[in-house]
Every structure is written in C-alpha cells, then in structure tokens.
Chains A and B, each alone.
Chain A
C-alpha cells in the first residue's frame, strides 16, 4: 500500500514531493509525498504529533519547507505567506474558528476582502448576492444577516468554509474539522463537502478518526512520525489495517526485564467517576479501576481525548471526582490538596510541556525548582537557596543529558527534546513513589526518546510505579508490564504487552470493547 502510480501526474490538484521541515530537536516533516487528485476528498490521517499540521502549514504558506517542492494544478509554486496560497486558490479552515461574534455572517465573510466602490464604501448588496449564491451551492440555509453569536458550532464551521470559498478557494484544507462536531453535524459537514467536490473543489481533510475517513473520503495519505507511510483508498483498507498503518507495525519485543514487579500497591484507583465539563453531559470518566505496583509500568493506550487527561487530573487532585477512591501507597487521597499529594510521592510529566511543564522565559534552574519548593535540600526556611538549586539543576542536566550551555539559559532557548528531558529529570529528581507520565517522549527526536525510556526503566527497576499514558505503541509495548486501553472515558481492554498485536491495540483504541485479558 505505498504510492499508487496510476494517479495521473498531470492532473493533480496538489503535489508535494520530498517535503522536509526541521525544527530543532523535534520531528516535524521528513521526505513527505502527497498527491491529491482534483475533485476528491483526500484524508490525511495520523496520530497527534505525527506532523499533519506542520505539513498543512507548509502547504498554506505559513512557513517554508527546508526541502521539497509544492505543485498546485501542475504549476510549481513557492508560498511565502498564506496570501500567496490564497492567491493560488488554497483555503484553510482552522480547527479553532476565527469569527467575530458580534458581526453578521456577511460581515464576517467579507472581513478583509470587502467589495468596495470607487469611493471606498462597502457594497453590501454585491457581497450578500455572492454569499447567497455560495450558500445555495453549499446547501446552507441561513440568513446572511444573522449575528454569528446566534449560530451553533456546525453552522459556524459552515461560515468558515464560506469565508474560504468567498476568497475564491478551489482547494480547501480542513484541520480536524470534526473534532468539535456532534455526529449529526459531522454528517451535514460531509454532505456539504460532497457538494463542493461535485462543483469542482478539492478537499484535504485532516483527521485521526478512522471511521469518518473510511466512510466519506476518496483517498487517504497516512502520516507517521513525520513522514508519509502510505497512500491508499478506503476500499483497500479496513479500520484495523489503517490503525496499524497509523501507529506503525514494527513493534519491539517487550523488554525482557530482570527485576520483578513488587507486591505493594503504589497507586490504586477504584470505581472512579468524574462528571463531564458540561452539566448533564455524560461522564468524563466512568468506573475506572487501575492499580500500579512498585516497580511496575502500567500503560494506558488510547487516542487522545478519551479521558486520559481527566484521569491524570483526578489523581493529582485538580478535579473534584464524583465518586470512587484514589490512594497512593495505601493512603486515601480524597481530602488532600494537590501539593500534599505531590509531597506524598506523586509526580507528573504533563501532556504538554509548554502549557503545563515549563516556565519558558525563566532560566533552567528555576524550571527544575518548579513544584519542588518543599524540598528541604533546595531551600533555607522560607528562602530559596539559589546555589543549591543551581547545583541540583546541573545534576539533572548531566544525568539526563540535557544539551545546554548552562543552567542560566532560559528554557525557550532549548530544543523540544531537551526541554522534555529537563521536565522528565525534574519529575524524577524528587525520587517519587508514583509517576504519572503523559506522553513522555512526544515530539522528541530518537536520541532523546531512547534516553527517556532508559531512565524510566531504570527508575522502575528501583521500585518506581509508573502510569504511562501514551499513543505510541512502540513505547507502550516496549515499556509496559500491563496495558489498559481507554476509550470514551472507560477502560475498554486489558492487554498483555507480550501478546498484544498492533491490530488488537488499534481495534480497541478505536472503540471496540473487550471483556478480559487478551
């Protein structure tokens, strides 16, 4: 299932060859091939962080590729800014809507591209006529004078699409458009997209939801770890084989470990229920039961957004749970604050190092001190002890191989992989009893990944209990002693890494239920 040569080269709407985009220390894009036939819905699928968005930013002119060529409708192009891409007929519908709530649909659509007469006045009639014509072709039925604030999510998305069409786009990029939609709206969206395609447009559709990709798209390009690994069609794949392509099939052997899992339970979660963000909505977490022993790594597999984040926040005490109990080393945590839980030996490698892990403008030594203010070795009564903190930071830098000129450099100056090593080092430095490791190697290069894995194994051998949240099957199978799969806020499968196949994982991760251990 590699590239299909029968695709007519001369008739392609978009043709990307050898696209490489480097960011220091992070996988971005490497040698990507993308061939999109005109008048099709072309899906780009891949895990979070696989490089889909980076690729689309390249195509939309938001940054320039380091290597490779972009051809649009047979013409070799170079986009310096999105304006160039728009001029070439490419439009982007962002995942997060960019609409002004207190303006009407018409005003929002024409904003920045107003039809003006010779005196500089906006010709609203002309604008409205064009928008109504576009709406008809789209099958949209709303009044263009409605305020955007009165629209629902699905309708707002329709307005975003109209905005792009109004600017003359023939090739539409939609970045995870269904992430915010309910199933019925998803159907409506695809009806709209089919109409557009029938009228001669081309749609590039980014997603990691396999069902809708298989149901509605004409062709599929799979991106994994920054490169294109397959170009196929829905008729040639199943959901399972697509999931396998997405997460990779070369699985490592589960590491033959020499130490044994300890007997004492470090982390125990029993019957945990957590309410959803919206009142009345379904539970964010439903009857979660997890136990992590000393010296054990328990992997939580799952596509992002299926409750893993909420589980971590509940264990940390950042969310008020509905019912159930959480204990660390036998101590029930119900009425303890986050800081106390951390002092009891709980540690956390957050999902997103920039949002929750680092003070980017602060020097590294302040970053390794973050969250460790109760550590008597780094403080002097109520005062911080800068010399000790700096020395401690240098130890972390050496131990984890963080590449940096010194501990005085601000964190933003480091590459992604080195930032992550610093976060991991900080969380391990306090000799925790339980570590919640959320995507500990996401978006880091191979070298940093190996180093972090080694540290996790080493700490496990010394008795650390680890709850490993990951979507990387290599990581899950290579590190875990047991694997649980989460889907839709529930644990849907228990797997043994020695016998689990990527196919099994892919199946459970996309929603199939299993009873007991496989």
Chain B
C-alpha cells in the first residue's frame, strides 16, 4: 500500500464506517434500555437488504439525498456552510410547480424547462445569502438558516393566496394546479423508482468532474483551503463565494424534483419536507466526496425504506431517525479524531522517509 492517496481514502472510509458502527452500538443500548432486543431489531432492519423492492425503494429515497448532499458539499469545498438547502428547495418547488403548469411543451423539453426553472429559482434564493456575505459580511450560516424560515413562510403564503387549485378529486389535500403529463418525470420501475435517480447520479458525476478535474474546481478548493494563498494568486474570494453559493442553490433547486415531477405532480405543503436538511447529514457522512455521498445516501435511503418493518416487531420506526442523528454526531467526532491521528502518522512517515534518504548536511 504505497500510494498515499489510496491510503488516505482508506483511512477516511474506515473512519466513516467506524462512525456508523459506533452509532449502531449506541442505538443498541437505547433499544436495550427501552426493553427491546437489539439483535432482533437489527436482523429485521437489515434482513430486508436482499429484497429487490426494498432496494428499489432505497434508491428512490436516496435520489433527493444525493442531490442535496452535493449541494451542501459544493459549499463545504469552498468553506461555506449552506444550511439553506431546505429553503432553496422549497422556493424552487413552488416556482417550478407554477411555471411548469403554466406552459405547454413537448415531453422532454417540458421536463428540461422545469429543471431549469428549479435550478434558477434555487440559485436566486441562495444568491441572497451569497450577496449578503460578499457585500455585508453576513455569516452564511446565520443568513441561510434565517432564509429557511423566510422561504417557508413566503412560499406558504404565496401558495395559499395565489396558487391553490380547486380540488377535483374531493381530496382534503390542497395542491397547486397539476402539471401536464408532459412534465412528469418517467419512472424506471413503476411507482417504485423514479428516473430522477439518473439525474442524481449525473449530478454526482458532474460534481466530481467540476470540483476535482477542472481549473475552476481547483480554484474553488484552493480558495476554501486557504483564502489568503488564493487571493495572492489573483483568485477573487468574493467571486468564489458568490459562484459556489449560486451553484449550491441551483443543486438545492433540484432536490425536490423527484417528489414534484416524479410523484405528486403538483405542489403541496409538506412536499419533499426535510430532504434539504437530511442532505447535510449525508454530506457529512460521505465526507463531501461523490462516492461517499452515494453510499451514505443509499444507507440513509435504506434505513428510511426498511424502518417500517420494525413496527412489525413492535419497535417504533423512529429508532432509525435517532440512528441517523447519532451517526452524524459520531461522524463529526470520529472524523476529527482520526484526521488528527492520520496527520501525525503522515508527518511521522515523511520524516522517517527523509531520515533514511537525507544526505547529512
């Protein structure tokens, strides 16, 4: 194992796996305290892993998580913490539902139009936080959190005042006017796995290429790693903040599209709820790397999909929500500890390699 890059990847993956394991142990203790058998619970929870239907459902649930994690991760790469994915997604949902229902286009174009509207509206909302940071020095953590509330209320008000459609089916759920079928994103597996899954994969691939393979991505990472060093090479840090906020917001706009274009086909109040926030957890566990994000999204998607089974053995399915939370905490703590250890290891190894190679001065 001579390749340091591979070594670092292995260490990183191992620390994330360790975090998941620790979280499972802590949840086992919680189950024991509540008088349940953790072994039986875990057997039920993970026993479903072989079933095609469950896997399809897991991929479907993973779809928005991958996109929202990518939205968070692109900010992280620039040292920006965009907590506003939820709000950006919500703004994009209503904007797309309204704009999509208002136009008449052939199928592929209509979908494309909806995706563009979603990305643009998400980017605009995120752009407010970017603008505040660049012009006024407002910390993006604060502004994006606040803008989440603003988005939530603003969208609810606009929906309620202008865009609610008369219910045709007699359902109590209030929705916007239904999108024409030309805007519906087709399923891969009928009612189980929507085609947005491929869009999510595409997002992760493009995210990887952009951040790791292009000049722009290099400048983005360099600016995030050391703004001072990038500044003296002529990279304008404010411009970088603005661009990464806009990119992050554009991806955030796509998060709700599986639910909107692939499932409900109209806006309603709880549509795609929490998927923006959950992306933060997925990005943390996936260490902001596309492959890590894919695996973590899959894990979280699976937990969500299989959690219902726990109720069959009389365990509340909310235990998986607790598990998700503990995983995030464990990831943050263990990653930091492992990084410190690994930094020391690398430094030590470099020193050793030199001692044996160096010519005495």
Contacts and interface: CB of A to CB of B under 8 A. Distances in A.
B296 interface: no
A121 interface: no
A133 interface: no
Contact of A318 (B222, B232, B357, B361): B232
Interface stretch (B181-189, B262-270, B325-333, B344-352): B344-352
Interface stretch (B50-58, B213-221, B245-253): B213-221
A256 B349 CA distance: 42
A370 B222 contact: yes
Nearest to A413: B350
B1 interface: no
B343 interface: yes
Contacts of A337: 234, 236
A403 B361 CA distance: 12
A338 B233 contact: yes
B225 A359 contact: yes
A350 interface: yes
Given A363-B5, A379-B215, A24 B229 contact: no
Interface string A252-286: 00000000000000000000000000000000000
Given A342-B234, A403-B354, A356 B229 contact: yes
Interface in A338-363: 338-342, 348, 350, 355-363
A355 B229 CA distance: 6
A338 B234 contact: yes
Contacts of B225: 359-362
A350 B232 contact: yes
Contacts of B4: 363, 406, 408-409
A278 B219 CA distance: 31
B3 interface: yes
A405 B232 contact: no
Contacts of A340: 234
Contacts of A363: 4-5
A357 B229 contact: yes
Contacts of A341: 234
Contact of B347 (A339, A355, A412): A412
B299 to A, nearest CB: 27
Contacts of B214: 382-384
A382 B5 contact: no
A518 interface: no
Contacts of A64: none
Interface string A443-468: 00111000000000000000000000
A339 B222 contact: no
A316 B346 CA distance: 35
B173 interface: no
Q: Which of B221, B230, B231, B350 has the most A CB atoms < 10 Å from its CB?
A: B350
B3 A358 contact: no
Nearest to B352: A405
Q: Which of B3, B229, B354, B361 has the most A CB atoms < 10 Å from its CB?
A: B229
Q: Which of A337, A358, A410 has the most B CB atoms < 10 Å from its CB?
A: A410
Contacts of A342: 233-234
Contacts of B231: 318, 338, 356
Interface string B128-154: 000000000000000000000000000
B216 A382 contact: yes
Interface in A399-426: 403-406, 408-410, 412-414
A367 to B, nearest CB: 9
A356 B346 CA distance: 23
A486 B231 CA distance: 25
Interface string B1-15: 001110000000000
A410 B233 contact: no
A205 interface: no
A362 B225 CA distance: 8
B346 A410 contact: yes
Interface string A368-386: 0111010000010011100
- Categorize the interface residue count of chain B: 20 to 34
Nearest to A337: B234
A33 interface: no
A366 interface: yes
B218 A369 contact: yes
B24 interface: no
Contacts of A350: 229, 232
Nearest to A371: B233
Contacts of A403: 354, 357-358
Contacts of A348: 232
Is chain B's binding surface mostly helix, strand, loop or mixed? helix
Contact of A316 (B226, B228, B232, B235): B232
A404 B5 contact: no
Contacts of B226: 355-356, 358-360
Nearest to A336: B234
A361 B216 CA distance: 19
A445 B361 CA distance: 10
Contacts of B349: 405, 413
A118 to B, nearest CB: 37
Contact of B215 (A338, A384, A404, A406): A384
Interface string A432-445: 00000000000001
A424 B357 CA distance: 22
A341 B221 CA distance: 22
A405 B354 contact: yes
Contacts of B33: none
Contacts of A361: 225
B346 A413 contact: yes
B353 interface: yes
A59 B140 CA distance: 41
Contact of B232 (A338, A379, A404, A408): A338
A366 to B, nearest CB: 7
Nearest to B339: A361
A36 to B, nearest CB: 34
B232 A384 contact: no
Given A405-B349, A405-B350, A384 B218 contact: yes
B93 to A, nearest CB: 32
A504 to B, nearest CB: 33
A317 B236 CA distance: 11
Q: Which of A342, A356, A357 has the most B CB atoms < 10 Å from its CB?
A: A356
Contact of A373 (B3, B219, B343, B361): B219
Nearest to A351: B232
B222 A359 contact: yes
Nearest to A445: B361
A363 B221 CA distance: 12
B232 A409 contact: no
B222 A409 contact: no
Contacts of B213: 383-384
A328 to B, nearest CB: 14
A338 B232 CA distance: 8
A348 B231 CA distance: 12
A357 B222 CA distance: 11
Contacts of A338: 231-234
B233 A339 contact: yes
A412 B343 contact: yes
B274 to A, nearest CB: 32
A379 B343 CA distance: 30
23 contacts: A337-B236, A339-B233, A339-B235, A356-B229, A359-B222, A359-B225, A362-B221, A370-B230, A371-B232, A373-B219, A383-B214, A404-B353, A405-B349, A405-B353, A405-B354, A405-B357, A408-B3, A409-B4, A409-B346, A409-B350, A410-B346, A412-B347, A413-B346
Top 9 closest A-B pairs, CB basis? A339-B234, A371-B233, A338-B234, A413-B350, A405-B353, A408-B4, A373-B215, A359-B225, A447-B361
Given A358-B229, A405-B357, 5 more contacts: A338-B231, A384-B213, A409-B346, A409-B350, A410-B343
Interface of A: 24, 316-318, 337-342, 348, 350, 355-363, 366, 369-371, 373, 379, 382-384, 403-406, 408-410, 412-414, 445-447
